[in-house]
């Protein structure tokens, strides 16, 4: 469960406010115009953007002053999710052991994760030697071994084509189910939300609204959302 309580982020003359609760294992689409504060919201929850006020609770634990890697959150960014000089095994292994000194059991776990995302046989390749889709798969495999209760995805598939993006979204949901994790994924395509995600969290002009079930919100979108969607 994620609870965001009276959160305020201030960046120069931009401010973001949020106050909501997300139940465990929910799959949330974060939707909104660019510059509205979607990335800032995920950054604040993940611990990359300092909070001015308010708190973030993950599974009931206040993590507002905790290091990003200690929050029970894993995160994928728009780019730079893999180290180009490390093999896919090593990149995934970092999610288990930052020292990369893995036991045999851990190596096996990494192997299983790579298999799970369809990368069997690519273990010793480097990111530069595989396709963009395969890079995304490797990043997802790392989320799988990290097995954090909350997964944040800041448009990691935006560079991929539509078909591949759908595929990655499906795979992400599989990974989330496998790890029994809550996910929040920023997307620009409301169809993503309608097809695959339970709820929509709308962000507009520095205000994050409480998530609502996708069907409900799409049936009767608020004014700002329909303006954004062009309805």
Residues that bind other proteins in the complex, under the rule CB under 8 A: 46-48, 67-70, 74-75, 77, 80-81, 83, 85-86, 94-95, 98-100
Q: Which of 222, 221, 217, 185 has the alpha carbon at shortest distance from 41?
A: 185
Alpha-carbon span 224 to 8, nearest angstrom = 21
* Nearer Cβ to other proteins (141/212): 141
* Nearer Cβ to other proteins (86/173): 86
State the minimum distance, in angstroms, from the CB of residue 79 to other proteins.
8
* Nearer Cβ to other proteins (149/190): 149
Alpha-carbon span 8 to 51, nearest angstrom = 6
* Nearer Cβ to other proteins (94/114): 94
Which tokens is 35 given? 């510059």
State the minimum distance, in angstroms, from the CB of residue 228 to other proteins.
27
State the minimum distance, in angstroms, from the CB of residue 133 to other proteins.
19
Is residue 177 helix, strand or coil? Answer: helix
How many C-beta neighbours within 10 Å does residue 215 have? 11
Q: Quick check: 9 and 53 in contact, CB under 8 A?
A: no
State the minimum distance, in angstroms, from the CB of residue 88 to other proteins.
15
* Nearer Cβ to other proteins (34/67): 67
Q: Quick check: 5 and 60 in contact, CB under 8 A?
A: no
State the minimum distance, in angstroms, from the CB of residue 70 to other proteins.
7
Which tokens is 63 given? 């993590």
CA atoms within 13 A on the CB side of 7: 33
Which residues, 6 or more positions from 98, have their beta carbon under 8 angstroms from its beta carbon?
none
Alpha-carbon span 112 to 124, nearest angstrom = 14
State the minimum distance, in angstroms, from the CB of residue 172 to other proteins.
16
* Nearer Cβ to other proteins (19/69): 69
Alpha-carbon span 119 to 46, nearest angstrom = 27
């Amino acid at each position: 469960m994620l609870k965001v309580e009276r959160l305020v982020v201030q960046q120069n003359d931009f401010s973001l406010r949020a106050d909501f609760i997300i139940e465990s294992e929910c799959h949330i689409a974060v939707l909104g115009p660019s510059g509205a504060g979607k990335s800032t919201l995920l950054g604040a929850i993940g611990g990359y953007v300092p909070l001015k006020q308010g708190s973030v609770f993950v599974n009931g634990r206040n993590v507002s002053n905790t290091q990003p890697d200690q929050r029970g959150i894993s995160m994928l960014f728009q780019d730079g999710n893999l180290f180009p000089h490390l093999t896919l095994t090593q990149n995934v292994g970092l999610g288990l052991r930052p020292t990369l000194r893995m036991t045999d059991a851990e190596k096996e776990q990494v192997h299983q994760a790579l298999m799970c995302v369809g990368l069997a046989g690519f273990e010793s390749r480097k990111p530069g030697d595989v396709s963009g889709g395969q890079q995304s798969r490797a990043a997802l495999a790392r989320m799988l071994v990290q097995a954090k209760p909350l997964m944040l995805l800041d448009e990691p598939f935006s560079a991929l084509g539509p078909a591949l993006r759908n595929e990655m979204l499906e795979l992400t949901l599989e990974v989330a189910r496998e790890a029994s994790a809550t996910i929040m994924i920023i997307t620009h395509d409301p169809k993503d939300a309608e097809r695959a995600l339970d709820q929509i969290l709308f962000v507009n002009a520095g205000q994050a609204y409480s998530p609502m079930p996708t069907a409900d919100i799409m049936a009767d979108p608020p004014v700002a959302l329909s303006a954004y969607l062009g309805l």
